[in-house]
Amino acid sequence: MAGATVRIPMCRRILMCENYDSGNSGDLEMRLDDTVFEFLDESPESSSSHGSVEDEENEEGDEEKVNKTHAEDDRIFWENQHQILRDTLCRTSSLESRIRNATKQALKEAQLAGNFCVCRKPVAGGCRNCLIREICGRLQNAGFNSAVCRSKWRSSPDIPSGEHTFLDVVSSSSKKAEIKVIIELNFRAEFEVARASEEYKQLIGGMPEVFIGKVERLQSLIKILCSAAKKSMKENKMHMGPWRKQRYMQAKWLRSCERIATAAPPLSTGGSSSRAARPRASMLTVDLHEGFHSFNRTAVEVL
């Protein structure tokens, strides 16, 4: 067809170039060779190497940004936990303050007495169960409705079974509903974990050894500390044991418990005397005079 353009394959074009006269063939061959060698010089490896270096630099920059973001998030998290913890601990009521002062006085007197352990094998300085019973009796003598509480729960898919002993004081009046104040003598130790991060150690260091507060305050503290413990375990790439989870800690103090309101007076009298005070004679307790100490030991063993 006239005027139509015929496409010549590349292989035939190269062969046709070889048949041209020597005058023009040199320039054509030079241009062709230059084109071919330039193409070969720009190999995929050289071009990809430039791209890989740029990609690595971009990845390093992105990773650095991510690390800075995580570090900033962690700093904000721990600052918030410290602030919330301080705010929760600073809030208090007149009832909590009165019970706190009475508990401090009871602990001081028990420490000075130093003879309140009535176990079969007395522990130097007193065991925990005997100390709980001693403080309970002293709070009762101070006019508070105090009792030894024992919580016990069954295992579930989330937490194992367990039991815990602590103190409480129940206050009731005609105007307000019944108010329950929890007393935990080893509160800080209950939240300590192995290989904790420095931030978590500092947070726990701000906790009082003895907790005295309402149920609502205790619930807030459990949430704060369990969340911080989970964060600490994650930072150290460790598994968080079920006995440190929030539900397990709540079961210790916030589930239903058996309230044992012992009516016995404190075993220690304070001062320099090492003997327990002799109970006053009464027609209601005359049968208990001879077996008073054995009764105390039995009560503690039950606890």
Distance (Å, rounded) from C-alpha 230 to C-alpha 242?
11
The pLDDT of residue 179: 92
The pLDDT of residue 183: 97
The pLDDT of residue 132: 93
For the whole model, what pTM was predicted?
Answer: 0.65
Element (H, E) at 182: strand 179-184
The pLDDT of residue 242: 84
Domain definitions of the chain by residue range: 87-264+294-302
Distance (Å, rounded) from C-alpha 135 to C-alpha 105?
9
pLDDT tens for the 303 residues of the chain, in order: 455 555 555 555 544 444 444 455 455 444 545 544 444 455 555 555 555 656 555 666 666 666 677 788 888 999 999 999 999 999 889 999 999 999 999 999 988 887 777 887 777 767 888 899 999 999 999 999 999 999 999 998 888 999 999 999 999 865 678 899 999 999 999 999 888 999 999 999 999 999 999 999 999 999 999 999 999 998 888 888 888 899 999 999 998 889 987 655 544 544 433 344 444 433 333 343 344 344 344 443 433
Q: Tokens 């570090």 map to which residue?
A: 71
Alpha helices in the chain (DSSP H): 10-18, 22-41, 44-90, 94-113, 128-141, 198-205, 215-235, 246-253, 292-302
Distance (Å, rounded) from C-alpha 29 to C-alpha 48?
30
Beta-bridged to residue 152, according to DSSP, are 163
